[in-house]
Structure 1
Amino acid sequence: MQQIFRYLTLCFLLTVLLFGVEKPKLLTPEEAFQVTATHNIQGVMISVVLGEKIYLYDDKITLELVKPKAVDIIAMVEKPKAEYFHDTMTQRKSFELFVPQSLLENEVKKGSFTLKFSYQGCSELGICYQPESKEFTFKLKGGSMMQSSSSLSEQESIAERFMSDNVSLVLLSFFGFGLLLSLTPCVFPMVPILSSIIVSQPSVSMNAKKGFWLSLVYVLAMSLAYTIAGILAALFGANLQASMQNPWVLGVFSGIFVLLALSMFGFYEIKMPSFIQNSVNKKTGEAQAQGVFGIAIMGFLSALIVGPCVAAPLAGALIYISQSGDALLGGAALFVMSLGMGVPLLLIGTTAGRYMPRPGMWMQNITSFFGVMLLGVAIWMLSRIIPSFVSMSLWAILIISSSIYFGALESFHEHTKGWQKILKSLLFMALVYGVALLVGFLSGATNPLAPFEKFTLKENVNVSASSTIFSKIKNIDELNLALKNAQKPVMLDFYADWCVNCVEFEQFTFSDARVKAKLEKLTLLKADVTKNSDEDKVLQKTFNIYGPPAILFFKEGKEITELRLVGFKNADEFLAHLEKVGI
């Protein structure tokens, strides 16, 4: 009986070996080696995808420039480390070869050029393939990578401008970009900060000229911060602004604003000790004694902490710096752009200095008003790191208490002037809004712009849930897996809680009913880089993203680079962009 059992077992094992195990499939050359090339403003990327159990002989891999002249460039590009296999050096994993723009500029001055990639490989099943080569033709113009205007993203087009235009035109263009960016929410919080600085100065010595110079100090320091942060981000991948958006920094800076605000309400006076003031007066004169260094520090920190923005012009300058290494022109463009952003601040500072009220009750009310504004900036900063319902309660407390403080509930007197009645009406409206925020907070609302969202139409329920349609990815591996499994075109949103424009996308663009209908045709992914962790940095560096917001579109697992969005777009602009995606 045992012999029969052993015989049957042996027959079963032989059957499994002969018929039950699927024999490995021998791949065709097209399946074994998938070689593609893409090009943009940064250079040429050659991607080599190897099939299962396929490897390449390392010494058979060559890369040549064959037109307009023959140059062997394989030694000039970085190649992956080879592995020792079957007594020879091989490449056993898929890899990429990147040909930087600077190399192409040295070898190709202008016009089209052709790269030839050659290779030979084998299968571990015991068969070797014939040597093969692929050629790719692209075009240079004026020493820079050129594509048609329709195939360049907005930030790449701006980077292209650096290389094709003269320096004066580049700087003038970036000053214009700065003027446009001055209308964005990133600059708005700096208005009460600068205004409070001007108001806190002695009114006797204040005039339009001094207001202008104090504002100029603030704006120059702000511009210097943007420039340094931008150059560091482009050259070393160090996003200084993002690193300043952690809870400790934001909490401390908000606390400073609260202390400054309380001093403007008259609780105490902030000034340097008398022995320091005397020393400064003797050495540097009255200007510095009035706090010029303090204003410069406030302007520098405001750029890094209060208003971290990434828009297409900024991204274009950073792309140019990172690829060309020309930090001088790129830094100058960033500085000029920041000056353009500061023009409204200069106007406000000059006006505040010109029309500074005389000492008295009116001046005290103006000072208190800017104290309230500073408290608002502190809450706005804290809203990046505290729960939304807590932020709602703080806004309600601030608006209700400040409205009552300025006399919203006081009765009119017999000699009350007309403009005072208008002012009291505005204060009463602010009080009503503050009460609405309080009711919204008690009902569980989280958006200060929609305090009654829990009581209104059902559509608002969908609006508040707009963020839930995004699947979050944490790293490049999760992204690759999501791209592989996607059945529809993919939209990847780089988001951060501290990014004002990112929040605007959530509240005003993605919540729009028309946009939501279009987004249903996409697979939506979100990369939350709020914490600026190592994984966040790697993910951003993979796509040369210097900070949120950035929105990328993919088809068949590959990014459509010309459709990349950087900076805020309203619903209408975003819908127009989705048309280009084919949605």
Structure 2
Amino acid sequence: MSRSFFGRAAAALLALCAAAMAPTAGAVNPEDLLPVDEAFQLEARAQADGIALHWDIADGYYLYRHRTSAQAGPGFNAGELQLPDGIPHEDEFFGAVETYRGELAALLPGTAEGPRTTLTVKYQGCADLGICYPPQTRTLEVALPAAGGGTSGPAAGLLSGGLGTNPLLRGLGVGGADALPEEQAFTIDAIPDGGNGLLVRLAPTQGYYIYRDQTSFELRGEGLQTGAVEWPAGVDHNDEYFGDTVVYMQPVDVPVQVLREHPDPVEATLVVSFQGCRDEGICYPPMTRSIPVSMPAGQVLEAARTPPPQGVRGSLEEGGPGIVAVLLLALIGGLILNLMPCVLPVLSLKALSLAEGSASRADARRQALWYTAGVLVSFAALGALALALRGAGLALGWGFQLQQPLVVGLLALVMFALGLSLSGVWHFGGRWTGVGHGLASRSGPSGDFFTGVLAVVVATPCTAPFMGAALAWAFAAPAGLAMLVFVALGLGLALPFLLIGLVPALADRLPRPGAWMDTFKQFLAFPLYLTAVWLVWVLARQRGADAVGLWMVAAVLLALVAWAWTRSRMGAPRRWLPIVVLGLLAMAWPLYSLHTLERPARAEAGVADDAGAEPFSQARLAELRQAGQPVFVNITADWCVTCKANESTVLSRDAFREALDRTGMAYLVGDWTDVDPALTRYLQEHRAVGVPLYVVYPAGGGEGEVLPIVLTPQVVRDAIERATEATT
């Protein structure tokens, strides 16, 4: 509660500051502001002791001392930029700083080692009207005395900071035989524009340009993502690579909307992907820049629906093979789900039900068809819910329903009730209740249908091989085609029992009914109890010990209802049915309380169990990657059976930890047991529709490698070696 209070207090304080500033900012007319290169006119001139920098600062404007720097490229051995003392200033953004007004004269000391050099100058300034410009970067070509041009006049390298209007740049070699390094040819900067916007500056050097349509922005920060982009007007350009397109040949400022799921300040990283060329020269390969930004408090804005990836759109437009391949993957993935441990308890009961009816082929066929119907309808309903939430702009993935404690608690109660039935605590209509036959012995199809429903529900914690690609396609495709994928998954799950029911030769191989079945029924209660125990453990991880206590109260009431129901079927229903009704009504209290519990502070639970692991965050990942360190990312969940199997057989073993220690690889673990929008976005960035997700990032930068869903020691060892081979 205290954390929430202080969070609200901080947000209120920031809002108060913003409100105090609002009248000033609101009164500013953008037309009243000078262009940045008129407000701060930059010149650079080579002289005997170095390169002199001079800014003419317009009245009513000022530069920050601590935001001013200069760096020389090849051809000039530079020292540290020498800046005069500035005017003390208490700044609302940076605190106690120094500023310059009127003019600024600085010196970059050093010696010439060639005829010219490229000078990269960075600075930032503001207007007294209350508006600050984004950080500016200017790349200047400066002719040095060694070139024989003396130390005065234009030929000596007197250059203006107005990159778009200076006619001297071409004559001094920009766009000549040697192309500039990409860091000098293209400068990208960004600053927050309030809590819900960014101002991104794209600054190609004179003689270079940036493609508008090849530029994209991605904001990596907890609860943040980019929204609409207001592209400024560019230059129409007929390009041999991209045809008729738009390019930017001069620096432009691009406003980018920031969508956020919470109002709190966030340290984030803006990733800018772009491509550019030299005018009448070479084109650079696609480039990426990561820019740290400190986002202040802002308003919560919902994200618009993300369009399908280009690959999905292409396969939809082309039709045929792409869709058929995806449906085949879905069918195989659903078939493999039958082998997953989370599905086996229910399938064992279904096998028992088919064995019970094996004396009649018609009965076996009926059961198989109704079971298949239950599976298909459930998968279709699950897919429709997922697509509806996707359309509403909510981020989710496979198994999302098990992030809800109420769903986990209800599912555990169902398993507990079925176990009690098989153990003989209660029965329906004088017969043992098995999931394949019973729940309603008077109407067999309903029991078979319910078995299919239950099989789908317990299958969602598992992710089988081949499912990932199919589900990723489904979550991005139009609703109609996406539903076909979910139906194909269901058909794969139901296929073994469907074949047994429809193919007499397979049905004949089932064991014949006999006395052994009663014993087997009672034995099957124990896998169901274990499943209930596992689900209650998940519930404890989600909502703590209080949730377990509430579930136990509900379980006791459920046992009372089952017992009273059986007594009512044996006679005197008027005496026992009120207990059944009251027990069911009483169960509403612990279940409702379970739904209202807050998530406990887990102190990075799920990470503490892994030696050397750190909790995952985009900020920590960006920090490690910027330092050039290799990183192993594990996104997991307590209810994910595949995740736990991988952790037990590979990730918790000494060999894995020794490999991390030997290579210096960081290990980040993200816990998706509960709803976590930041982790969901990370999953979606990697086209993962659920957990587990394993990504290995190489040393020194580069794209991460996504590992298979099911891990083996060899797969993990090879991935670590590939990621660290450059440093070993």
- TM-score normalised over the length of structure 2: 0.46
1:340 and 2:340 equivalent?
A: no
AA aligned to 1:510 is L
Question: Which of 368, 391, 410 is the matching residue for 1:252?
Answer: 410
Corresponding residue number in structure 1 for 2:239: 66
The CA distance in 1 between the partners of 2:237 and 2:454, in whole Å, is 49
Aligned residue pairs total: 411
1:26 match: 121
Change (3 A) 1:313 1:67: farther
Aligned letter for 1:26? V
1:524 match: 667
**Residue in 2 that maps onto 1:571:** 713
Shift of 1:578: 3.4
Structure 1 SS opposite 2:610: helix
Distance 1:312 1:192 in 2: 22
Q: Is the 8 A contact 1:214 1:349 kept in 2?
A: no
The answer as to 2:669 corresponding to 1:506 is no
Residues 552 and 559 of structure 1 are in contact (CA less than 8 Å); yes or no, is this contact kept in structure 2? Answer: no
Contact 1:61 1:117 in 2 (8 A): no
Q: Does 1:190 align with 2:346?
A: yes
Q: CA deviation at 1:201?
A: 8.1
Give the aligned partner of residue 546 of structure 1.
689
Matches of 1:262 and 1:116, distance apart in 2: 65
What's the offset of the Cα at 1:525? 0.8
Identity of aligned residues (%): 18
Give 1:538 deviation, angstroms: 3.9
Check whether the contact 2:470–2:485 (CA below 8 A) recurs between aligned residues.
yes
Q: 1:517 to 1:173 in 2, by over 3 A?
A: same
Where 2:520 maps in the other structure, the secondary structure is helix
Q: Give yes or no for contact 1:492–1:553 (8 Å, CA) kept in 2.
A: yes
Deviations 1:439-487 (CA, angstroms, capped at 9, x unpaired): xxxxxxxxxxxxxxxxxxxxxxxxx9871221002x43344344445x5
CA–CA separation in structure 2 for the residues paired with 1:226 and 1:82:
33
1:169 is displaced (CA, Å) by 4.7
**Is the 2:699–2:724 Cα contact (8 Å) retained in structure 1?**
no
Instruction: Give the secondary-structure state (helix, strand or coil) at the position aligned to 1:525.
Output: strand
AA matched with 2:535: M
Extract unaligned runs of 5+ from structure 1. 1-13, 37-42, 50-55, 84-92, 99-114, 120-129, 139-143, 147-155, 273-286, 391-463
1:160-203 deviation line (CA, Å, top 9, x unaligned)? 99978354454334433443454343443432353466579899
Q: For the structure 1 residues 489 and 268, does the alpha-carbon distance in structure 2 shift closer, same or farther, using more than 3 Å as the test?
A: same
C-alpha displacement at 1:497, in angstroms?
0.7
What letter corresponds to residue 406 of structure 2 in structure 1?
Answer: W
Equivalent residues in 2 for 1:479-490 (5 A)? 479-485=621-627, 487-490=628-631
- Long gaps (5+) in structure 2: 1-82, 89-96, 100-105, 109-119, 123-137, 140-182, 189-201, 204-212, 220-228, 249-253, 259-267, 288-308, 431-439, 546-606
1:476 and 2:618 correspond: yes
Name the structure with the higher helix share.
Answer: 1
Structure 1 residues 58 and 496, CA gap change in structure 2 (3 angstroms): same
Amino acid aligned to 1:367: K
Cα separation, 2, equivalents of 1:254 and 1:203: 33
Alpha carbons of structure 1 residues 205 and 335: separation in structure 2 relative to 1, 3 Å: closer
Cα distance between partner residues in 2 of 1:229 and 1:558: 39
Is 2:329–2:467's contact at 8 Å kept on the other side of the alignment? Answer: no
Q: Does 1:331 align with 2:504?
A: no
Shift, 1:298, TM fit: 4.7
Q: Deviations over 1:540-563 (max 9, x none)?
A: 3444432110012224686625x2
SS in structure 1 opposite 2:339? coil
Aligned to 2:153: none
For 1:544 and 1:266, the matched residues in 2 are separated by 47
> For the residues of structure 1 that align with 2:670 and 2:385, how far apart are their CA atoms?
22
SS class of match (1:547): coil
**SS of 1:340's equivalent?**
helix
CA distance in 2, matches of 1:341, 1:267: 31
Residues 146-168 of structure 1: CA deviation (Å, up to 9, x unaligned):
9xxxxxxxxx9x98999783544
Matched residue of 1:468: which SS?
Answer: coil
User: What SS does structure 1 have at the residue aligned with 2:427?
Assistant: coil
Counterpart in the other structure of 1:111: none
- Kindly indicate whether the alpha-carbon contact (under 8 Å) linking 1:63 and 1:73 is maintained by their aligned counterparts in 2: yes
1:319 aligns with 2:477: no
Rounded to whole Å, the distance in 1 between the matches of 2:243 and 2:455 is 53
Structure 2 partner of 1:405? none
| CA deviation after TM superposition for structure 1 residue 526, in Å | 1.1
Aligned partners of 2:421, 2:283: CA distance in 1, in Å? 71
Q: C-alpha displacement at 1:263, in angstroms?
A: 1.8
Could you give the per-residue CA deviations for residues 378-408 of structure 1, whole angstroms, max 9, x where no partner exists?
22333333479x9xxxxxxxxxxxxxxxxxx
* Greater C-alpha radius of gyration: 2
Aligned residue in 2 for 1:376: 530
How far, CA to CA, are the matches of 2:315 and 2:700 in structure 1?
Answer: 26
In structure 1, distance between residues paired with 2:348 and 2:456 = 14
Is 1:515 aligned to residue 656 of structure 2? yes
CA distance, structure 1, for counterparts of residue 610 and residue 539 of structure 2: 18
Are the counterparts in 1 of residues 650 and 656 from structure 2 also a CA contact under 8 Å? Answer: yes
SS in 1 for 2:466: helix
Q: Given that residues 232 and 238 in structure 1 are in contact (C-alpha distance below 8 angstroms), is that contact kept between their aligned partners in structure 2?
A: no
Q: CA deviation at 1:47?
A: 5.2
Q: Which of 615, 627, 637 is residue 496 of structure 1 equivalent to?
A: 637
Quick one: distance in 2 between partners of 1:264 and 1:557? Answer: 58
Note the C-alpha offset of 1:16. 6.1
Q: Report what 1:451 is aligned to.
A: none
Q: Distance in 1 between matches of 2:332 and 2:215?
A: 33
Name the aligned partner's letter for residue 337 of structure 1. Answer: L
Structure 2 vs 1, CA of residues 190 and 578 (structure 1 numbering), >3 Å: closer, same or farther? farther
Change (3 A) 1:168 1:537: closer
Match of 1:307 among 440, 460, 464: 460
Contact 1:230/1:334 (<8 A) preserved: no
> 1:81-115 CA deviation, whole Å, 9 max, x = no partner?
489xxxxxxxxx985678xxxxxxxxxxxxxxxx8
**1:531-583: CA deviations, max 9, x gaps?**
1133433443444432110012224686625x212512122233234344345
1:296 aligned to 2:445? no
Could you say what secondary structure the match of 1:59 adopts?
coil
**Bigger fraction of residues in strand:** 2
Write the distance in 1 (CA, Å) between the matches of 2:237 and 2:447: 58
Greater relative contact order, per chain length (Cα 8 Å cut-off, separation 6+): 1
RMSD: 5.2
Letter aligned with residue 575 of structure 1:
R
Q: Deviations over 1:35-56 (max 9, x none)?
A: 89xxxxxx9664599xxxxxx9
1:499 shift after superposition: 0.8
Listed one character per residue, the Cα deviations across residues 296-323 of structure 1 (whole Å, up to 9, x for unaligned) are 3453354244532345633323433455
2 CA distance for matches of 1:519 and 1:63?
A: 51
Distance 2:315 2:696 in 1: 20
